[in-house]
Chain A
């Protein structure tokens, strides 16, 4: 290897804030009161909360040290499959922090927030154009929330036709949240086995589709990173049976400007703005999962809708068929702004190019590593490729061992043990962020790990060696969780 990315470094220990500080330390001075003192109702008096007394430098060092334990996309490559951990351009944060936008109160009347309403209206339009669908709600807070909104629309649609349906088809290559979202709406998930080539077989769908089935939830590209080539035929069969087709658009990063989802037969699609449209995510931060629908389902979208007429932009509540509100105020507006900024900065041509490069990068890794790692579905992939640890079984080295060892080389591990259809799955999604030089370094690191698996498996069993925290006992953490500080 030419360069090894990871090296050792001085990492400092840091206790919890509650374990730091000393009585009387302060990080700020409260100015003297310039209003007359008023009595507080004794009902509201009591013992104050147990906050630690800390100086400013105590706190700055605390968070600086914690940040040095972290690994983000700004640190290095983060090929966490299915999560689209692409770089988040800083201009998006800058735009979102603009006072005119950031300080706009969500309860302002429409006439005083025409700018923010315009941004939402235009973002809806962009997302409709990108998916090919007709109408959009920006409210859902993230992917699974979008799915839930979509399933509420499924239910409302079937009830509107006077025939509630009880089942929903979920392929084994769908995202794991799909069956849960459907079950929350009272739909019983029926698992669908993908075909031997890793995609849906229309004959299987035809066998399962019946008058009790509300429709299907398809993740496309699916969790094997493969495009559902039979999607039009699958949609035709489901529609012929009176059902609707839901598309989990979490993998949209592979097909922006390339696939028209309406022409694929999809009726509802959710997008993950925090993935495809490059807003910061991971660590449980806010996301946004807008839902796009075809024209005849528009009336079911959550209220309020952002509409435009000759007087300007306004929020409209009077939609009697709507499934109702699914989020307070305007959804996760800070995320919407970042996605809007990303789309405007990129433009149509570059969004398409981002998808093309994301797909090219994944295929490059697939081709370069398929001699070292078992590749269960050897065919062109989309934005991610899925390997397994089958070739390492004889050395008693598992997917987990290799993932942990990657950290010693300076990489965030890929997604492991998902999708479930591949035993010991290693799911790599490089995104368009990485240059060929960086991909080559990653590939060389993985090849080195495969060599180690053969020649020195012990080093993998005990990995990671360079990280602040070594191999964690995940079993003990799950069996005996410690839920207090």
Chain B
């Protein structure tokens, strides 16, 4: 497993305490899990994602990731509607381990961008990981 200083935590993303990230991209936003999350989970073997059109509120469970160690829920960083699911992960869940930023989970239409203020910057997220 990686030490904290070995983690890849890009600037410019908004992180959650549950180790997801979100990046606003025009009028949509893409959501994935952090390098820390994929490293802790270990080899991901199954990705269960919601249907396009489902709506969730901020912090609500929207899917699960199954690794050889455990099954973990994923929580949506912002309220919104699912507009796209990364279909490639159904056959190749290992892509999330390979690069958790390139290989996002879902694209959403955020309901309220002011919710971003409740999320963590990269520095705040690092503080959380350093405990």
Contact = CB atoms under 8 A, between A and B. Distances in A.
A474 B43 CA distance: 9
Contacts of A418: 70
Interface residues of A, number: 13
Interface string B1-17: 10100000000000000
B70 A479 contact: no
Contact of A393 (B3, B45, B69, B70): B3
B86 interface: no
A396 B2 CA distance: 8
A417 interface: yes
A478 B40 contact: no
A129 interface: no
B1 A475 contact: no
Chain B CB within 10 A, most for which of A424, A474, A479: A479
A423 B1 CA distance: 11
B96 to A, nearest CB: 12
B35 interface: no
A423 B40 contact: yes
A474 B68 contact: yes
B93 interface: yes
Contacts of B45: 475, 478-479
A202 B69 CA distance: 31
A475 B69 contact: no
B69 A417 contact: yes
Chain B CB within 10 A, most for which of A393, A417, A418, A475: A475
A325 to B, nearest CB: 32
Closest 10 CB pairs of A and B: A478-B45, A475-B43, A417-B69, A474-B68, A479-B45, A475-B68, A417-B70, A478-B68, A420-B70, A393-B1
Given A417-B70, A475-B45, A478-B68, 20 more contacts: A393-B1, A393-B3, A394-B3, A398-B1, A417-B69, A418-B70, A420-B70, A423-B40, A424-B1, A474-B43, A475-B43, A475-B68, A475-B94, A478-B43, A478-B45, A478-B46, A478-B66, A479-B45, A479-B93, A479-B94
10 contacts: A393-B3, A417-B69, A417-B70, A423-B40, A475-B43, A478-B45, A478-B46, A478-B68, A479-B45, A479-B94
